[in-house]
Amino acid sequence: MSVRFIGDARENALRLQQANAFRNVAIALLNYETVKNALPPPFYKSEPASKPSSPSTDARQRALSSWRFGIMPFIESTKTPYDHQQSWRAPIHATWAARYNPVFCDPRERAGSQRGLETTIFAITGPGTAWGDGDSEPPHHLVELPNDVILFVEVRNSGVHWMQPGDFDIRTMPRTLNADDGRGISSRFRGGFHVGFADGEVWFISNDVGFDRLSQFFTIEGARQHDREAELGPFRQ
């Protein structure tokens, strides 16, 4: 057996593992919706001590933890020691999180290491998206969304702890696919990246799709106006 074949086989196995992680997240969101009647907020936040002096006050300054942390009870059967009224950095979370490597993280990295705790899954947030903007626009009901809207995508080099608030906002995200720095939509696998849709479908899409074509499915209205089989299907691998 050639070295090239062994490398390809290992990559295919790891890619399948990542796809299964995406599916587990999709199932967890569906179960969360069943209980909570909506998607989780993109980040949990504390209330301001006083009324903001300006409506432009950034809600992320009060962000405590991510939606990824919020859906953990719907992924793991073990009791998760979390408190949404405390920061993801709080002592109640620190010891447990330091030794835990959940489905959001790269399984090739050592559990508990800095890289082993970085998320590889970012939600697509912002005005008009399924998740809303985390402040003025709340998350939507999953059952009311068009099947084709993209909920979350893969990122290779997020630099974001899986419990930490941090995702892609359509107003500020890099308009790149598999850029060298790995900070936009990107993957550790050759040729493409994973995306998760509102109906639970997980696709691996070629970089050749182009950001503009892909981003049509970031918003609810865009997903209603376009067909993923027609627009994205030719780039599915």
3-state secondary structure of 66: strand
pLDDT value of position 22: 96
pLDDT value of position 176: 96
Whether pLDDT at 134 is above 60: yes
pLDDT in tens, 26-85: 999 999 999 988 899 999 887 544 444 433 334 445 788 899 988 988 887 656 666 777
- Domain ranges in the chain are 8-45+61-235
Mean pLDDT of 189-198: 96
Please tell me the distance from the alpha carbon of residue 204 to that of residue 179, in angstroms, as a whole number.
Answer: 17
**Which pTM does this prediction carry?**
0.88
pLDDT in tens, 90-126: 887 776 666 666 789 887 776 556 777 899 999 999 9
Better-scored residue on pLDDT, 103 or 174 = 174
pLDDT value of position 2: 41
Q: Which helix (H) or strand (E) holds 213?
A: helix 211-215
pLDDT value of position 126: 97
Distances (CA, A) of 117 to 100, 108, 160: 8, 11, 8
Amino acid at residue number 100 = Y
Q: What is the distance in angstroms between the CA of the first residue and the CA of the last residue of the chain?
A: 25
Place of tokens 């696709």: 203
Do 44 and 70 form a contact (C-beta atoms < 8 A)? Answer: yes
Judging by DSSP bridges, how do beta strands 192-197 and 202-206 pair with one another?
A: antiparallel
